[in-house]
Amino acid sequence: MLSAILFLLLSQSQPVDLSPEHRLATELMTEYTTRWAAGDAAGLTALWIADGDVVTLAGGILRGQAAIRAFFEESLSNAPKSQFLTIVDAARRINDDAMLADGRWRLTSSKPSAKPVEGIFTAIFVRNAKGWRLMSLRSSIPSGGHTRGIGRTADFPKPERESSTTRAAVLK
């Protein structure tokens, strides 16, 4: 968790929001990236409530844990040993048991010739008997339209050479 916050701090060009909501959302998204790194489709699925949903990059809406698990099984098999990173840019409580988080993600392939893919996400977390869980996750890749860069806090840091040590530190 501390490494994830350090990564967050280093990647921001504006003051970082370290509110309790921001710290919690960062912790929850760090758990997501840790389970991705482990190739754990069942663990990723367990982060969702039973009737949660995912909106895919292709615009598909996947509802329920069976559909979400199938999505992660396919995604992880198509991108083995890939690195998935997230940065939470903003988070706020909707009420005592619901929270909204916005941020950025980067997927780096294990193939050295492949370029990383970067996008944005919005996550809705709800608290139930199991703790905080995802209710909904929406991801997209900005098109670069007329609003490109407006309100953007910072790009992902561009390491000179990404190493397994760098990846492991970010995912701890």
**What domains does the chain contain, in order, with CATH numbers?**
2-143+164-171 (3.10.450.50)
pTM above 0.85, yes or no: no
Q: What is the pLDDT of residue 149?
A: 57
Asked whether the beta carbons of 124 and 138 are under 8 A apart, the reply is no
Q: Name residues of the chain where pLDDT drops below 50.
A: 1-15, 159-172
Q: What is the pLDDT of residue 153?
A: 55
Q: How far apart are CA 169 and CA 158, in angstroms?
A: 15
Q: What is the pLDDT of residue 162?
A: 42
148: tokens are 């490109």
Q: How far apart are CA 119 and CA 134, in angstroms?
A: 19
